[in-house]
């Protein structure tokens, strides 16, 4: 980092602003405070409240309003209640019963470690982090299935099988929607993809760098891919209308049916974290990552992600749930061809503009 | 004396009689039940027998006929009429467990309404003593569960998709249903037995608990059955007020169906919550008119409890006009929304013949294209004066059933507004007897069958009076009973696990109504 150190106290502010400081260099701080454990707990607690409030306003209700200002502390109260509840393990359940939610929680943290909050505030970034991310997303349904299997419940197993069906529906489509981004950025690294959108590696925020010469947020040149990716991410994080594994009227609560109390809290936590990170992935790939004028990069990333997340929550609350055949039909017969079409369009555009 | 024709038969001639009656147009089996005559009864003193009764309806001519099969009390036995009407299945099971009639040739005579391990005591027999009852709680839950309990999916009371205390035991192959067996009876309150132990006045409260979402038609039909026995003519104004009350209840029930029930099946929360919110307007009207929101006791033999309150007309016009303006939006949101349309199209398809054969009635029958609405067929007062139109669809699937209910909501709103405009002057209650003496009112001996269209279909009450202040026999034909049998029938034909909630929802079965 090239900075005139004579700026005195302001230097520290600026250094923290862009993340060039000891904290950002400390892996422990990143793991446990930001963007790791503490931050993810806070964001999940906030998101849960936000999710309820948006849902309530769509359904002409009030939502939580009594605990804390506008019910903001309701989630904390709920988590405390869930933690103090007895954890009931079914008699016939596997001895791995309570490991499974922990594993899927760990998995969502693995996801978190790959998402760049800024070029400094990222836990792991390497040449192929997008592939790693696909791998994490592909393992997730396996754990959902094991969660159901371990609980020795018919609806748990049914929910687990449906998680597999869901994965069959979205996995290929999800990969295809990200291909145009890889083509345009020439990079498999998430930080590299953000750089390719014209975000300067060092000075992250100012307006000037939001749209630079060749760099432009991929969302603007790839609107179709943006829409398709949001759909793919909604499928991956099981948001309605694609909530096949946890469709309550059909299979109770799917694989999580037998889990109550702290286990349930853990599952909700990892679900909401996955939701947040899914939106974060969209931000990284299409919306210029952390680039936002006048705010620190990491804050810019979180704000953008919340906007994307709000759109997903909005869609989730206003749509009915799909049937399995309809879901597979839409995914394979309508969305996959669209994703291929988009790759083709991208090729042509890149050829015309000479980006290849 | 009765308001229908009785045809005597013996167990040997029963099936042939049934066949010939079906061939002559009596295609609809309303119910199969029994009447128990012990020697000290007052209807036919000295008679010691049990009559198996089969109530038939000719949809073309609106005639009612009843096959009566006298049986010995100690070992009553009849052959099954399932080869003639498939819908007799559950009615015969019910007669078997409640009256102890042995049904020869029936495929599954397990308990339907009573607990599985209930011993050989028969609650609806006149000499039933509750102290004799013993229940073996370890009995298997269904015929399917007898063979392979490990493989059976219990899609029943514990399941949010089952819409209350009703459900199925399922055998699955992946998501495909191999076999299904309905499990109902969780809210069986023996309303028919209670009806025999209460007087005619108390029975108003008893009857409207028949269906908690749609109690008004129950007391309407009860009042008309009693009036027929008493020979009372209801004032014109009371007829209009009854229509208003019943149609308001139908509106509230259909809104509840569209929102939390069918919308909830798809986790479609906006429709679910908005419909609940709009139902509040209807409940406000019901409260203003009757004083109650769920149970009303508004209609009683001779008329209605009180006249239309001050300001009700304006309130009704305001609330119903608002509701009318919301219905196109619901149509757009619910029935034209692609995901919902995909889920409902082809769901639980019934052909008209199948539906009539099973005894399906109400919106589910009209969705198959059969234009039968008891309000018109049975000439329920003032419906025809107000130009009532039967709403039909032709699909026979879930979507068609939904569109029928939506059309009925529009029709109900129009009927109520027209009835309010044309409300005649006069008394709201016949001046027939001393009100305070009504609990001890004696009703002349006789037998009557009164029908109406409840929110779920053809609702009938078969009432036998022995001249005392309590009825001798009250048989309720709950429409959901046959409609739920249709759900089982559809599931057995082959369906999928993920379609069950929407299927139960689209048939709009009410557990209270089917269990009674």
Which residues pair with residue B183 across a beta bridge? B167
Query: How far is residue B147's CA from residue B154's CA, in Å, rounded to a whole number?
Result: 14
Distances (CA, A) of B274 to A57, A59, A317, B260: 11, 6, 13, 9
Record: contact A320-B264, CB cut-off 8 A: no
Interface mutation vs chain B, best among A234, A249, A326, most B CBs within 10 Å: A249
- Phi/psi of residue B71, nearest 5 degrees: -130, 155
Same domain, B213 and B347: yes
Distances (CA, A) of A110 to A31, A124, A233, A274: 11, 9, 17, 10
CB-based contact, A166 to chain B, within 8 Å: no
Nearest CA in chain A to B259: A59
Sequential DSSP letters for B326-339: HHHHHIIIIISSHH
> Which residue in B142, B149, B156, B153 sits closest to B187, CA to CA?
B156
Query: How far is residue B234's CA from residue B450's CA, in Å, rounded to a whole number?
Result: 15
β-bridge pairing B102-104 and B77-79: parallel
Sequential DSSP letters for A207-243: GGGTS-SS---HHHH-HHHHHHHHHHHHHHTT-TTS-
Residue B421 Cα, gap to closest chain A Cα (Å): 33
The angle formed by the CA atoms of residues B126, B132 and B134, to the nearest 5 degrees, is: 125
CB-based contact, A234 to chain B, within 8 Å: no
Sequential DSSP letters for B94-161: HHHHHH--EEET-S----SSS-TTB-S--TTSTT--GGG--B-TTS-SSHHHHH-TTTEEEESTT-GG
Question: What residues in A contact B500, CB-CB < 8 Å?
Answer: 250
Residue B491 Cα, gap to closest chain A Cα (Å): 15
Same domain, B116 and B236: no
CB-based contact, A78 to chain B, within 8 Å: no
**Mean pLDDT confidence for B57-86:** 89
Tracing tokens 């889990």 back to the chain, one arrives at A259
pLDDT at residue A246, as a whole number? 81
Which residues pair with residue B471 across a beta bridge? B465
- C-beta separation of A235 from A166 below 8 A: yes
> Which residue in B56, B96, B98, B90 sits closest to B78, CA to CA?
B96
Question: What residues in A contact B340, CB-CB < 8 Å?
Answer: 320
Nearest CA in chain A to B342: A326
Pick from B265, B274, B497: CB nearest A158: B497
Predicted confidence (pLDDT) at residue A304 exceeds the cutoff of 80: yes
Pick from B159, B272, B498: CB nearest A323: B498
Mean pLDDT of chain B: 88
Q: What is the pLDDT of residues B297-310, one digit of tens each?
A: 889 888 888 888 88
pLDDT at residue A208, as a whole number? 43
Nearest CA in chain A to B174: A158
pLDDT at residue A11, as a whole number? 61
- C-beta separation of B347 from B501 below 8 A: no
- C-beta separation of B95 from B32 below 8 A: yes
Same domain, B465 and B351: yes
Nearest CA in chain B to A326: B342
Same domain, B449 and B379: yes
Q: How many structural domains are present in chain B?
A: 2
Is residue B230 a part of any domain in this protein? yes
The least confident of B45-54, B78-87, B352-361, B431-440 is: B431-440
Is residue B162 a part of any domain in this protein? no
Q: What is the pLDDT of residues B168-220, one digit of tens each?
A: 888 888 788 888 888 888 889 888 899 888 888 888 888 888 888 888 999 99
- C-beta separation of B135 from B117 below 8 A: yes
Nearest CA in chain A to B340: A320
Question: What residues in A contact B177, CB-CB < 8 Å?
Answer: none
pLDDT at residue A18, as a whole number? 60
Nearest CA in chain B to A244: B498
Residue A314 pLDDT level (bands cut at 50, 70, 90): very high
Question: What residues in A contact B498, CB-CB < 8 Å?
Answer: 247, 250, 323-324
Record: contact A250-B343, CB cut-off 8 A: no
Mean pLDDT of chain A: 83
Question: What residues in A contact B157, CB-CB < 8 Å?
Answer: none
As to burial, measured by CB atoms within 10 angstroms (0-12 exposed, 13-18 middle, 19+ buried), residue B336 is exposed
Find the helix packing angle between A129-150 and A99-114, rounded to 10°.
170
- Phi/psi of residue B29, nearest 5 degrees: -90, 115
- C-beta separation of A130 from A190 below 8 A: yes
Is residue B171 a part of any domain in this protein? no
CB-based contact, A168 to chain B, within 8 Å: no
The angle formed by the CA atoms of residues B294, B298 and B303, to the nearest 5 degrees, is: 155
- C-beta separation of B424 from B240 below 8 A: yes
CB-based contact, A241 to chain B, within 8 Å: yes
Predicted confidence (pLDDT) at residue A82 exceeds the cutoff of 60: yes
Question: What residues in A contact B264, CB-CB < 8 Å?
Answer: 249
Query: How far is residue B96's CA from residue A12's CA, in Å, rounded to a whole number?
Result: 87
Q: What is the pLDDT of residues B217-264, one digit of tens each?
A: 999 999 999 888 888 888 888 999 999 999 999 999 999 999 888 888
Query: How far is residue A44's CA from residue A186's CA, in Å, rounded to a whole number?
Result: 33
Note down the domain range covering B40.
Answer: 5-139
**Mean pLDDT confidence for A135-157:** 84
Record: contact A321-B266, CB cut-off 8 A: yes
Same domain, B84 and B201: no
Same domain, B204 and B269: yes
- C-beta separation of B51 from B2 below 8 A: no
CB-based contact, A247 to chain B, within 8 Å: yes
Nearest CA in chain A to B339: A322
The least confident of A22-36, A177-191, B493-507 is: A22-36
Nearest CA in chain A to B500: A250
Nearest CA in chain A to B149: A154
β-bridge pairing B446-454 and B457-465: antiparallel
CATH code, B201: 1.10.645.10
Please indicate whether residue A125 or residue B318 has the higher confidence score (pLDDT).
B318
CB-based contact, A313 to chain B, within 8 Å: no
Tracing tokens 């953000």 back to the chain, one arrives at A194
Q: What is the pLDDT of residues A242-259, one digit of tens each?
A: 888 887 777 787 788 888
Query: How far is residue B488's CA from residue B182's CA, in Å, rounded to a whole number?
Result: 6
Please indicate whether residue B161 or residue A327 has the higher confidence score (pLDDT).
A327
Q: Which residues of A158-169 are buried (b: 16+ CB within 10 A; e: fewer)?
A: bbbbbbebbbeb
pLDDT at residue B1, as a whole number? 56
pLDDT at residue A136, as a whole number? 87
**First-last CA distance in chain B:** 27
Cα B320 off chain centre by: 26
Count contacts between A and B (CB, < 8 Å): 72
CATH code, B77: 3.30.460.80
As to burial, measured by CB atoms within 10 angstroms (0-12 exposed, 13-18 middle, 19+ buried), residue B67 is buried
> Which residue in B87, B103, B110 sits closest to B354, CA to CA?
B87
Which residues pair with residue B452 across a beta bridge? B459
What is the gyration radius of the CA atoms in chain A, in angstroms?
21
Which residues, at least 6 apart from B454, have a Cβ–Cβ distance to it below 8 Å?
A: B211, B214, B217, B218, B221, B362, B479, B513
Residue A153 Cα, gap to closest chain B Cα (Å): 10
At residue B399, the 3 state secondary structure works out as helix
Q: What are the structure tokens assigned to A246, written together?
A: 């946890």
Record: contact A323-B499, CB cut-off 8 A: yes
Record: contact A240-B267, CB cut-off 8 A: yes
Tracing tokens 């029975």 back to the chain, one arrives at B203
Query: How far is residue B327's CA from residue B335's CA, in Å, rounded to a whole number?
Result: 11
Record: contact A320-B267, CB cut-off 8 A: yes
In this structure, chain A runs to a length of 356
ipTM: 0.83
> Which residue in B224, B205, B377 sits closest to B296, CA to CA?
B205
Question: What residues in B contact A319, CB-CB < 8 Å?
Answer: 268, 339
Residue B264 Cα, gap to closest chain A Cα (Å): 8
Query: How far is residue A239's CA from residue A335's CA, in Å, rounded to a whole number?
Result: 17
Percent with pLDDT over 70 in chain B: 98
Record: contact A250-B501, CB cut-off 8 A: yes
Question: What residues in A contact B277, CB-CB < 8 Å?
Answer: 60
At residue B182, the 3 state secondary structure works out as strand
Q: How many beta carbons lie within 10 A of that of residue B377, not counting itself?
A: 18
Is residue B144 a part of any domain in this protein? no
Same domain, B376 and B306: yes
Q: What are the structure tokens assigned to A73, written together?
A: 């502390």
Which residues pair with residue B151 across a beta bridge? none
Q: What is the pLDDT of residues A200-215, one digit of tens each?
A: 554 444 444 444 445 6
Tracing tokens 């419906």 back to the chain, one arrives at B383
Nearest CA in chain A to B260: A249
Query: How far is residue A165's CA from residue A163's CA, in Å, rounded to a whole number?
Result: 5
Q: What is the pLDDT of residues B496-514, one digit of tens each?
A: 888 888 998 898 888 888 8
Query: How far is residue B447's CA from residue B229's CA, in Å, rounded to a whole number?
Result: 8
Same domain, B134 and B198: no
Q: What are the structure tokens assigned to B204, written together?
A: 């108003």
Distances (CA, A) of B317 to B72, B323, B329, B388: 58, 10, 19, 19
Interface mutation vs chain B, best among A62, A252, A320, most B CBs within 10 Å: A320
As to burial, measured by CB atoms within 10 angstroms (0-12 exposed, 13-18 middle, 19+ buried), residue A185 is buried
Predicted confidence (pLDDT) at residue B46 exceeds the cutoff of 90: no
Residue A24 pLDDT level (bands cut at 50, 70, 90): low
CB-based contact, A321 to chain B, within 8 Å: yes
- C-beta separation of B347 from B507 below 8 A: no
- Phi/psi of residue B492, nearest 5 degrees: -70, -30
Is residue B151 a part of any domain in this protein? no
Domain boundaries, chain A: 93-353
The angle formed by the CA atoms of residues B168, B172 and B175, to the nearest 5 degrees, is: 105
Q: What are the structure tokens assigned to B387, written together?
A: 């130009």
Q: How many beta carbons lie within 10 A of that of residue B202, not counting itself?
A: 16
Record: contact B174-A161, CB cut-off 8 A: yes
Residue A154 Cα, gap to closest chain B Cα (Å): 7
Question: What residues in A contact B270, CB-CB < 8 Å?
Answer: 58-59, 317-318
Residue A309 pLDDT level (bands cut at 50, 70, 90): very high
Q: Could you tell me the sign of the dihedral formed by the alpha carbons of A207, A210, A211, A217, in that order? A: negative
Predicted confidence (pLDDT) at residue B92 exceeds the cutoff of 80: yes
Which residues, at least 6 apart from A200, have a Cβ–Cβ distance to it below 8 Å?
A: A209, A212
Query: How far is residue B413's CA from residue A86's CA, in Å, rounded to a whole number?
Result: 51
Which residues, at least 6 apart from B225, have a Cβ–Cβ distance to it below 8 Å?
A: B448, B449, B450, B461, B463
Same domain, B241 and B307: yes
User: What predicted TM-score, i.e. pTM, was given to this entire model?
Assistant: 0.88
> Using DSSP, how many helices (H) and how many strands (E) does chain B show?
18, 14
What is the gyration radius of the CA atoms in chain B, in angstroms?
22
Nearest CA in chain A to B264: A249
Interface mutation vs chain A, best among B151, B175, B340, most A CBs within 10 Å: B175
pLDDT at residue A149, as a whole number? 85
β-bridge pairing B49-58 and B63-72: antiparallel
């Amino acid at each position: 980092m090239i900075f005139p150190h004579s700026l005195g106290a302001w230097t520290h502010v600026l250094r923290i602003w862009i993340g060039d400081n000891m904290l950002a260099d400390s892996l422990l701080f990143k793991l446990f405070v930001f963007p790791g454990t503490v931050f993810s707990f806070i964001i999940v607690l906030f998101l849960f409240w936000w999710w309820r409030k948006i849902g309530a306003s769509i359904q002409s209700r009030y939502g939580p309003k009594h605990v804390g200002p506008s019910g903001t502390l309701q989630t904390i109260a709920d988590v405390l209640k869930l933690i103090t509840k007895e954890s009931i393990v079914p008699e016939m359940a596997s001895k791995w019963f309570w490991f499974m939610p922990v594993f899927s929680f760990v998995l969502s943290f693995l996801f978190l470690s790959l998402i760049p909050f800024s070029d400094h505030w990222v836990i792991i970034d390497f040449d192929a982090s997008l592939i790693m991310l696909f791998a994490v997303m592909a393992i997730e349904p396996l754990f959902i299935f094991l969660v159901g299997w371990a609980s020795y419940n018919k609806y748990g197993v049914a929910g687990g099988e449906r998680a597999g069906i869901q994965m069959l529906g979205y996995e290929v489509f999800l990969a295809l929607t990200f291909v145009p981004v890889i083509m345009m950025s020439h990079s498999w690294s998430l930080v590299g993809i953000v750089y390719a959108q014209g975000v300067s590696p060092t000075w992250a925020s100012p307006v000037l760098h939001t749209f630079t010469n060749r760099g432009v947020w991929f969302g603007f040149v790839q609107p179709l891919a943006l829409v398709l990716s949001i759909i793919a991410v909604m499928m991956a994080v099981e948001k309605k209308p694609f909530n096949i594994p946890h469709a309550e009227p059909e299979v109770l609560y799917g694989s999580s049916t037998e889990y109550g109390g702290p286990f349930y809290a853990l599952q909700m936590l990892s679900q909401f974290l996955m939701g947040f990170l899914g939106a974060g992935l969209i931000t990284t790939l299409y919306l210029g990552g952390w680039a936002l004028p006048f705010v620190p990069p990491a804050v810019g990333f979180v704000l953008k992600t919340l906007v994307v997340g709000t759109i997903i929550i909005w869609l989730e609350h206003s749509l009915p749930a799909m049937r399995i055949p309809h879901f597979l039909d839409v995914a394979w017969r309508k969305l996959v061809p669209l994703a291929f079409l988009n790759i083709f369009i991208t090729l042509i555009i890149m050829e015309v503009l000479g980006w290849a | 004396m009765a308001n229908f024709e009785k045809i005597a038969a013996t167990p040997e001639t029963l099936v042939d009689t049934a066949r010939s009656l079906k061939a002559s147009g009596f295609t609809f089996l309303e119910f199969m039940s029994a009447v128990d005559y012990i020697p000290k009864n007052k209807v036919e003193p000295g008679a010691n027998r049990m009559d198996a009764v089969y109530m038939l309806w000719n949809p073309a001519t609106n005639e009612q006929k009843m096959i009566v099969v006298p049986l010995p009390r100690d070992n009553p036995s009849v052959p099954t009429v399932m080869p003639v009407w498939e819908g007799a299945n559950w009615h015969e099971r019910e007669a078997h467990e409640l009256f102890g009639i042995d049904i020869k040739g029936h495929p599954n005579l397990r308990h339907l309404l009573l607990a599985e391990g209930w011993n050989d005591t028969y609650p609806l027999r006149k000499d039933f003593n509750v102290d004799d009852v013993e229940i073996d709680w370890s009995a298997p839950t269904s015929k399917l569960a007898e063979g392979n309990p490990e493989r059976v999916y219990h899609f029943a009371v514990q399941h949010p998709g089952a819409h209350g205390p009703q459900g199925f035991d399922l055998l699955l192959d992946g998501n495909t249903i191999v076999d299904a067996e309905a499990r109902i009876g969780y809210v069986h309150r023996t309303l028919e037995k209670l009806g025999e132990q209460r007087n005619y006045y108390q029975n108003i409260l008893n009857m409207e608990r028949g269906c908690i979402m749609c109690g008004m038609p129950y007391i309407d039909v009860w009042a008309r059955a009693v009036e027929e026995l008493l020979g009372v003519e209801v004032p014109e104004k009371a007829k209009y007020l009854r229509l208003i009350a019943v149609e308001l209840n139908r509106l509230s029930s259909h809104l509840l169906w569209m929102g939390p029930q069918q919308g909830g099946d798809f986790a479609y929360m906006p429709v679910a919550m908005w419909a609940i919110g709009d139902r509040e307007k209807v409940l406000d009207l019901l409260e203003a008119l009757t004083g109650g929101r769920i149970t009303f006791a508004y209609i009683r033999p001779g008329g209605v409890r009180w006249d239309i309150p001050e300001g009700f007309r304006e309130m009704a016009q305001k609330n119903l006009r608002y509701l009318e303006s919301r219905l196109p939006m619901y149509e757009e949101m619910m029935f034209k929304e692609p995901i919902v349309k995909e889920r409902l199209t082809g769901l639980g398809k019934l052909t008209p013949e199948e539906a009539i054969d099973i005894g399906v009635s109400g919106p589910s029958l009209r969705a198959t294209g059969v234009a039968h609405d008891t309000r018109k067929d049975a000439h329920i007062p003032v419906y025809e004066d107000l130009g009532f139109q039967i709403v039909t669809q032709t699909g026979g699937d879930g979507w068609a059933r939904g569109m029928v209910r939506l059309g009925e909501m529009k029709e109900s709103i129009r009927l109520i507004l027209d009835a309010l405009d044309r409300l005649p002057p006069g008394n709201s209650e016949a001046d027939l007897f001393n009100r305070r003496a009504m609990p001890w009112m004696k009703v002349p001996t006789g037998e009557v069958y009164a029908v109406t269209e409840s929110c779920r279909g053809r609702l009938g009450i078969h009432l036998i009076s022995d001249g005392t202040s309590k009825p001798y026999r009250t048989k309720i034909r709950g429409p959901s009973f046959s409609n739920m049998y249709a759900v089982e029938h559809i599931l057995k034909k082959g369906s999928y696990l993920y379609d069950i909630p929407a299927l139960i929802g689209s048939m709009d079965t009410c557990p209270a109504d089917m269990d009674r």
